[in-house]
Structure 1
Amino acid sequence: MTGNHTSNTTLTDSYYSYTGDDFTPCNNNYVRDFSQVFLPTLYSMVFIVGLIGNGLVLCVLAKYYRKSNMMDVCLFNLALSDLLFLISLPFWAHYAATNIWIFGNSMCKAVTAFYMLGFYGSIFFMLLMTVDRYLVTVHAHTSLFFKRQSVSVGIALVLFMWALSLGASLPTIIFSQGRNESNGLCMPEYPNNTWRLVIYMELNILGLVLPLTVMGFCYSQIIPTLAAMKSKKRHKAIKLMLVLIIVFFLFWTPYNVVIFMYFLHYSGYMETCEWLRDLGLAMQWTETIAFSHCCLNPIIYAFLGQRFRTLVIKTLKEWFPICFSRCRTLNSQLTYTRSSTNSMHSTETTFV
């Protein structure tokens, strides 16, 4: 995945290097005009909403962290992954609006690193959550062994997941180059077409095939086991995870499909200008849908997690006591008004 710079890179490379039967370059002005208006606005909205939501999640989980709860550790790192991802959006928004990269080569690599680490971090921590629920539900004895060494095991697993994320991100980070020219670019410059195809396949395998395989297997074992249990807490945890995973796939699968289409294009299939133009527009839409996923996890926690909701309200009361004291005053006034009105109605009824 190479985000907005993927679409810019892909379109720039393809439209201006492709020659058809008439040996004229493809024209991507329509795609560029669309992205200049459409992407900066949506990226800005996603950035603001996601920053507030995920920032609140991090604060709440850090404040009320429970060492024995692997779920909280995964949720914390999931929110951290989303924040890393979000940090890159203002830069891509500016890039889309101006069509010029002005931040230099170092920032190009840094922003790409934030983007890629956020993307792979989200995937790997969702996989870790799934495997943890699988062990807790299906192999309770194994999970008890890990619980006895919860702190050391938790730290080791978190570091391992971030190391995996960095390893998966490194090729794109290394190949990304920022050029401060009259039309400055931030784009991967692959040594050859094989590297491009390998990275596209890596995105599809790690971004879709691997998560689907692991989660499909785990939940095929978890659901029958849960059906025989009567624990409400476990049901709620599984429900939260299922919603998180389903939403993730709904928002990221279209993007992975488009990435696979680019793979086919660079493999020598469907090389017409019309195909590439349609693919560019599809990338703009699917990319924006995928980016907006960063905003949704905190909303899901709020709707499905009673404990999380309680902790958020408790934290907000500590941060903004004046607002909540005013709310209590208004509530008490409303309660008094209702009771007075009910009293009047009762008196009137008695006299009638």
Structure 2
Amino acid sequence: MDGLSLLDTDYNDTYLDERFYFEDNIDAFGITMAILYPLVCILGLAGNSLVIVAILKLDKMSSSTTVYIFNLALADGLFMVGLPFIASQNFQNRWVFGDIACKVVMVLDGINQFTSVFCLTVMSIDRYMALADPLRFARWRTPRCAKIVSAVLWLFSLLTILPMALHFSADKGLCIPELVSDSWWLGILSYTFVMGFALPFTMMTASYTALLLTLRLQRLRRSTPNQESHRLERQVTRMVVAVVVVFGVCWLPFYTFNFCSLHQSGLVLTFARAFECMVLLSYSWSCANPILYACLSDTFRRHFRTLLCPMVKSSPSMQCNTERYDLNDTGDATLPA
């Protein structure tokens, strides 16, 4: 679980005393974070909104791939909604929105975080089925099936996060979990790490590794060299490396700092600020997905160009016929999931 839950501390009284002991003067770090938080929020909302509009207007969720990408963008966009609340608490050193709002924000924050990760994981499996053996898995890759799977992911995220999110309270001035015991908190950290990072990361890595091995084997089996298959393999390799690296870079430091907080006998200012940077880094992952679409997918580049440059439509010679761009084609192999 991200944001307010693991944002600041190991949640003991020592931390709370030190947190409020820190000077309230606005220094360079505070100003920098005050700029970065809204910047990440705006970029995340704008980028994911663009993906959603592109899919609804130009693709109309005609494939399983775009159904999953739509739900990923929706979860990532809604994930950004909780960022202003976190920024406010960090900047003011207190939660000013009330106890009910604390619980609601944490529930929504957790649902969107886990749904985003789960969607990315399912998309890695979908990519394997689409490129390894499309005919064999065709009945599992229909838009209807993808919508059912996506609905299950949202429900599973709610059930996964609800018991923990309801333990949050703003009674002590910060929106933090009510600490039952050290072992309870260690269990929560381990649970979120496994469900939110370790298991999805392992499944993504396994799916993409199997996909790359399958594509290479298919290419080697051909009697004559095929430039198109070799190009496809290179594109998928770039996509795999980008997805796995970005996911790991954005989330592993966050969970690492959470476990390190268990061994902090007294939280120092440097650790608290580094922790805050890790939280912001984890949120920036939701901004990275639309950028990956634009950089790695020819299809989405064309969709984005159509939406952002409407004047192109006025020139028949430059007009982009979006109907012929099917996200199930080989260009879809470069999608970041």
Q: Which amino acid in the other structure matches residue 7 of structure 1? A: L
- The aligned residue for residue 164 of structure 1 is 156
Structure 2: which 5+ runs fail to align?
220-227, 316-337
In the alignment, structure 1 residue 193 sits paired with structure 2 residue 182:
yes
Equivalent residues of 2:11, 2:176 under 8 A apart: no
Moved over 6 A (4+): 30-35
In the alignment, structure 1 residue 146 sits paired with structure 2 residue 140:
yes
Equivalent residues of 1:133, 1:238 under 8 A apart: no
TM-score in terms of structure 1 length:
0.76
Aligned counterpart in structure 2 of residue 78 of structure 1, from 72, 79, 94: 72
Q: SS of 2:6's equivalent?
A: helix
Aligned counterpart in structure 1 of residue 116 of structure 2, from 100, 122, 133: 122
In the alignment, structure 1 residue 299 sits paired with structure 2 residue 288:
no
Equivalent residues of 1:121, 1:165 under 8 A apart: yes
Q: CA deviation at 1:143?
A: 1.1
Structure 1: which 5+ runs fail to align?
18-24, 329-352
| Greater radius of gyration (CA) | 1
Q: CA deviation at 1:117?
A: 1.8
Residues 1:83 and 1:27: Cα distance change in structure 2 (over 3 Å): closer
Q: Which has the higher contact order (CA 8 A, sep 6+)?
A: 2
- The aligned residue for residue 22 of structure 1 is none
Identity of aligned residues (%): 27
Equivalent residues of 2:6, 2:258 under 8 A apart: no
Q: SS of 2:139's equivalent?
A: helix
Equivalent residues of 1:9, 1:187 under 8 A apart: no
Q: Please give the alpha-carbon distance, in whole angstroms, between the structure 1 residues aligned to 2:35 and 2:11.
A: 21
CA RMSD of aligned residues (A): 3.0
- Mean Cα deviation higher: 41-50 or 224-233: 224-233
Q: Please give the alpha-carbon distance, in whole angstroms, between the structure 1 residues aligned to 2:25 and 2:103.
A: 23
Equivalent residues of 2:61, 2:143 under 8 A apart: yes
Q: Which amino acid in the other structure matches residue 212 of structure 1? A: F
Equivalent residues of 2:2, 2:113 under 8 A apart: no
Question: Per-residue CA shift, 1:78-104, capped at 9, x if unaligned?
Answer: 111111110011111111111221211
In the alignment, structure 1 residue 3 sits paired with structure 2 residue 32:
no
Q: Which amino acid in the other structure matches residue 57 of structure 2? A: K
Equivalent residues of 1:204, 1:256 under 8 A apart: yes
Q: Please give the alpha-carbon distance, in whole angstroms, between the structure 2 residues aligned to 1:303 and 1:165.
A: 29
Q: Which amino acid in the other structure matches residue 101 of structure 2? A: M
Question: Per-residue CA shift, 1:10-69, capped at 9, x if unaligned?
Answer: 35644247xxxxxxx798616997774443321111111111111111111111235452
Q: Please give the alpha-carbon distance, in whole angstroms, between the structure 2 residues aligned to 1:39 and 1:159.
A: 35
In the alignment, structure 1 residue 59 sits paired with structure 2 residue 77:
no
Question: Per-residue CA shift, 1:212-250, capped at 9, x if unaligned?
Answer: 221222222111111234445676466445423321211
Map 1:264-283; keep pairs closer than 5 Å: 265=262, 270-273=263-266, 277-283=269-275
Equivalent residues of 2:37, 2:280 under 8 A apart: yes
Q: CA deviation at 1:153?
A: 1.2
Q: Which amino acid in the other structure matches residue 209 of structure 2? A: S
Q: Please give the alpha-carbon distance, in whole angstroms, between the structure 2 residues aligned to 1:165 and 1:32.
A: 39
Residues paired across the two proteins, number: 305
Equivalent residues of 1:134, 1:218 under 8 A apart: yes
- The aligned residue for residue 184 of structure 1 is 173
Q: CA deviation at 1:159?
A: 0.8
Aligned counterpart in structure 1 of residue 86 of structure 2, from 87, 92, 116: 92
Question: Per-residue CA shift, 1:166-223, capped at 9, x if unaligned?
Answer: 12221332111134xxx73211113333332221011211232112221222222111
